[in-house]
Structure 1
Amino acid sequence: MARNTQVIFLGINDAGMRVYDWLCDQEDVFVHSLLTTKDQLRVVENVEPDYIVSCGYRHIVPKDILDIPKEGCLNLHPAHLPYNRGANPNVWSIIEGTPAGVTLHYMDAGIDTGDIIARRKVETDFSDSGKDLYERLEDTQVELFQDAWPDIISDSISVTEQDEDAGTYHRTSEFEDLCKLDPDEEIRVKELLDRLRALTFPPYDNAEIEIGGETYYVEVDITRE
């Protein structure tokens, strides 16, 4: 393959930086830019890269930008699509018992709805906190991309079209609502523990409850015998 395969990378989180660094080390790839904000996307118009690769990017990419790369736009999402499109997939896998995993897919005008290139499940355990699962999902995203990249650039992949009516989708506002604990809510113990462990992500204070005019933050630590 020619040495001038040009990539523009979109990302900001730990997994994104690891994928970015790995791509930069590939002799047959030139990573032109690392973009983290929406107003930087006009760089894509100037460069007209072969690929956009996205991992951890926090903004919706407009269709006119998605149409520019010659070979397409790839996104790593820390969910086993079509489950848990959108925000906080690690949390919702625990809350709803949906499959946890990661997916590499083509980007389209929807949110995590593009054709699937590769995906991989990640095992879960009742002792997992939201942070535990998040970190395993990050590791698996990096591994999946490294495994899939040679087939992508050699044009030897087959894709799976997503059914947009299947799976699940969650907004950031749903996570914010989940964080607010109602002291008068009646709930099964297992459901409460799932909720609390999904929201346990130190050093962040997620689950909160107001008692006697004071706000308290709640975490759990579940261990096997």
Structure 2
Amino acid sequence: MTAVNGTIVVCADGYVGKRIVEWLSTYHPESVSLVITVSENDIFQHCQKHSIPVEALNARSIRNTISSRIDGGIDLGILLWWPKILSKDDINIATKGFINTHPSLLPFHRGKNPNFWALKNGEPFGVSIHFLGSGIDDGDIIAQKQVPYSWTDNAGDLYKKSLESMIDLFKSTFSSILHNDVRRSTQDMSLGNFHYAREMDNACHFQLNQTYSARDFLNLLRARTFGHYPACWFTDEDGTEYEVRISITPRAHS
């Protein structure tokens, strides 16, 4: 398969990766030289069924996986909901770099759990497509889409909205990516924030005798309400730990 404007490798995982790979196989089957998956999963099976070159990463690096199928380097790499961090050697195999999908309005909420932090802090939420930089989620932005939310939304709702919004944003941006016609916008790190995964549990541990504003407390509870996943929690005087989830619905009027 020959890309319109060079050799493109797609690393895909999860719902977003599957949906976009399915779309690419239907509307741009000649644009991707190789799809890399984390295992022989449903994305892998789809590519095989539609004669799209595919390779499971397994224990190998991105660079070695690409080298096993493509001689020399590549022009561009695209990460679709990719769960693994790329090394500098991985990134350098692509002459034009790697493009990443991230579920936040960068530079806000770089790192982990952006849906939680947006709700907890009452900040705007959205999705971004950006180039990989020297750090985590800090590269130049290509495209963004804001995802509006209301009081009835919790973390699970925001996450689901981010999936569909990312798919839509990628589809509308891919032609520009394909023809190397993207406008890069440098992130202003002084405006953004970054969070590690380990920060969330401590942020969700509220104190029974602490004073919160109603707004902050409701935002905290819904920010950690996400199906069967752990919720906000507190510790009673006897040491027993309890979880709290919340449902906010429009008030019914008789």
TM-score normalized with structure 2 length: 0.81
Note the 1:13-32 alignment, pairs <5 A: 13-25=14-26, 26-30=28-32, 32=34
| Partner Cα separation in structure 2 for residue 205 and residue 3 of structure 1 | 44
| Partner Cα separation in structure 2 for residue 75 and residue 120 of structure 1 | 14
Match of 2:244 among 190, 209, 218: 218
User: What is aligned with 1:106?
Assistant: 131
User: What is aligned with 2:66?
Assistant: 44
| Partner Cα separation in structure 2 for residue 109 and residue 43 of structure 1 | 22
Contact kept, 8 Å, 1:103 with 1:120, in 2: the verdict is yes
Task: Write the deviation string for residues 35-60 of structure 1: whole angstroms up to 9, x where unpaired.
Answer: 33674423134433332211322232
Q: Does 1:167 align with 2:168?
A: no
Q: Go from structure 1 to structure 2 and tell me whether the alpha carbon gap of 1:31 and 1:2 turns closer, same or farther (over 3 Å shift).
A: closer
Q: Go from structure 1 to structure 2 and tell me whether the alpha carbon gap of 1:162 and 1:133 turns closer, same or farther (over 3 Å shift).
A: same
| Partner Cα separation in structure 2 for residue 61 and residue 35 of structure 1 | 14
Note the 1:1-225 alignment, pairs <5 A: 2-3=2-3, 6-25=7-26, 26-30=28-32, 32-36=34-38, 39-41=60-62, 42-46=64-68, 47=70, 48-211=73-236, 212-225=238-251
Q: Go from structure 1 to structure 2 and tell me whether the alpha carbon gap of 1:8 and 1:99 turns closer, same or farther (over 3 Å shift).
A: same
Task: Write the deviation string for residues 75-121 of structure 1: whole angstroms up to 9, x where unpaired.
Answer: 01011111111111111111112221111011122111111111111
Q: Cα RMSD over matched residues?
A: 2.1
Structure of higher CA gyration radius: 2
Tell me which amino acid in the other structure corresponds to 1:33: V
TM-score normalized with structure 1 length: 0.90
The alignment partner of 2:201 has SS state of helix
Contact kept, 8 Å, 2:12 with 2:36, in 1: the verdict is yes
Aligned residues: 225
| Partner Cα separation in structure 2 for residue 176 and residue 45 of structure 1 | 40
| Partner Cα separation in structure 1 for residue 11 and residue 248 of structure 2 | 35
Q: Go from structure 1 to structure 2 and tell me whether the alpha carbon gap of 1:201 and 1:38 turns closer, same or farther (over 3 Å shift).
A: farther
| Partner Cα separation in structure 2 for residue 153 and residue 30 of structure 1 | 10
Q: Kindly state the Cα deviation for residue 200 of structure 1 after the two structures are TM-superposed.
A: 0.4
| Partner Cα separation in structure 1 for residue 74 and residue 126 of structure 2 | 29
Tell me which amino acid in the other structure corresponds to 1:69: A
Identity score, percent: 27
Task: Write the deviation string for residues 132-159 of structure 1: whole angstroms up to 9, x where unpaired.
Answer: 1111111100000010000111122211
Q: Kindly state the Cα deviation for residue 177 of structure 1 after the two structures are TM-superposed.
A: 1.3
Q: Which has the higher strand share?
A: 1
The alignment partner of 2:101 has SS state of strand
| Partner Cα separation in structure 2 for residue 163 and residue 196 of structure 1 | 30
The alignment partner of 1:29 has SS state of coil
| Partner Cα separation in structure 2 for residue 203 and residue 79 of structure 1 | 23
Task: Write the deviation string for residues 56-78 of structure 1: whole angstroms up to 9, x where unpaired.
Answer: 22232112211111332110101
